[in-house]
């Protein structure tokens, strides 16, 4: 029973890592940018959700949607003002992303201060599945994260914009020849990627505190997931996110503390030693 409980906790944690990693991978696969500001958009999602609930008086779901929309708009603006200037220049784009991360973190720090704040969970209690008892807030986060990913998958698979984004990821030059407006799609790509991070941050706001530094660890986890699954592979981000969540749950429960972090890093190193392109990435010629 303990093993089943730990597995369920790992899947719930993995669902959040999945959202973070899919957004990170989407931006990299389309724009070839390692977005080091991804964690700060996670943090902004938590901040926006908190403000929408406590200041604007919205219910949690509306506040979460508002946070995702706000992050999307900011992402489109940032791509147009910053990253558009560095297309084809991966090194300077990466440096710009790192600078953007520092700017966002310190702006939030100046406005809201360093003290963490908490948000009440939208649901309470626990749900029993036979001998297993799952806290309702965690189950809510798991279901909501899977629903968000499901909508993202349907968008990419069933809409004209989603199909155009997939074509752009596979071969930008062929996509351009086919008449796909790349200059219009890339800001949308960046906006969707950071919106997924913000939605993950908003979902986790009731479970953890909201602060200007809340995005540091999720950014590190997202980076680990995309390396583990395969840089640029969205299926790899899904597999890597769930795998890391399960691994973290098991190692924290049975080993604990710093030893769990060491074990996770050892697993990542072993994967890279035998499959440098990741679990589901493609080996370069």
Per-residue exposure over 111-135, b if at least 16 CB sit within 10 Å of its own CB, e if not: ebeeeeeebebbeeeeeeeeeeebb
Burial class (CB within 10 angstroms; exposed 0-12, middle 13-18, buried 19+) of 56? exposed
Instruction: In the chain, count H helices and then E strands.
Output: 11, 2
Q: Under 8 Å CB-to-CB from 143, ≥6 apart: which residues?
A: none
Alpha carbon distance 221, 58 (integer Å): 30
When mean pLDDT is compared across 51-60, 96-105, 145-154, 242-251, the lowest value belongs to 242-251
In this predicted structure, the answer to whether residue 275 has a pLDDT above a threshold of 90 is no
pTM of the predicted structure, to 2 decimals: 0.92
Q: Please write the tens of the pLDDT for every residue from 35-89.
A: 999 999 999 999 999 999 999 989 999 999 999 999 999 999 999 999 988 887 8
Q: Please write the tens of the pLDDT for every residue from 201-229.
A: 999 999 888 999 999 888 988 888 888 88
Q: 126 - beta bridge partners?
A: 135
Alpha carbon distance 28, 38 (integer Å): 11
Q: Please write the tens of the pLDDT for every residue from 1-37.
A: 677 778 878 888 888 899 999 999 988 888 888 899 9
When mean pLDDT is compared across 103-117, 181-195, 212-226, 249-263, the lowest value belongs to 249-263
Domain ranges of the chain: 18-214
Backbone angles phi, psi at 132, to 5 degrees: -95, 140
In terms of DSSP bridges, do strands 126-129 and 132-135 run parallel, antiparallel, or are they unpaired?
antiparallel
Alpha carbon distance 46, 199 (integer Å): 8
């Amino acid at each position: 029973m303990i093993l089943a409980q730990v597995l369920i906790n790992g899947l719930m944690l993995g669902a959040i890592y999945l959202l973070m990693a899919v957004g990170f991978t989407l931006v990299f696969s389309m724009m070839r940018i390692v977005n080091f500001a991804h964690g700060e958009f996670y943090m902004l999602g938590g901040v926006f959700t908190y403000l929408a609930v406590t200041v604007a008086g919205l219910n949690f779901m509306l506040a979460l949607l508002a946070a995702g929309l706000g992050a999307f708009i900011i992402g489109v603006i940032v791509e147009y003002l910053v990253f558009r200037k560095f297309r084809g220049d991966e090194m300077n784009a990466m440096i710009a992303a790192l600078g953007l991360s520092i700017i966002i973190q310190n702006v939030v720090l100046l406005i809201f201060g360093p003290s963490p704040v908490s948000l009440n969970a939208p649901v309470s209690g626990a749900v029993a599945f036979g001998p297993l008892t799952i806290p309702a807030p965690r189950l809510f986060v798991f279901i909501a994260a899977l629903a968000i990913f499901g909508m993202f998958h349907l968008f990419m698979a069933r809409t004209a914009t989603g199909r155009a984004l997939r074509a752009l990821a596979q071969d930008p030059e062929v996509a351009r020849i086919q008449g796909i407006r790349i200059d219009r799609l890339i800001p949308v790509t960046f906006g969707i990627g950071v919106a997924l991070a913000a939605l993950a941050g908003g979902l986790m706001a009731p479970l953890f505190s909201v602060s200007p530094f809340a995005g540091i660890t999720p950014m590190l986890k997202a980076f680990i997931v995309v390396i583990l699954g395969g840089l640029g592979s969205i299926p790899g981000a899904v597999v890597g996110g769930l795998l890391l969540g399960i691994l973290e749950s098991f190692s924290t429960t049975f080993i604990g503390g710093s030893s769990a972090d060491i074990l996770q890093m050892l697993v990542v190193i072993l994967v890279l030693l035998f499959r440098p392109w990741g679990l589901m990435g493609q080996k370069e010629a």
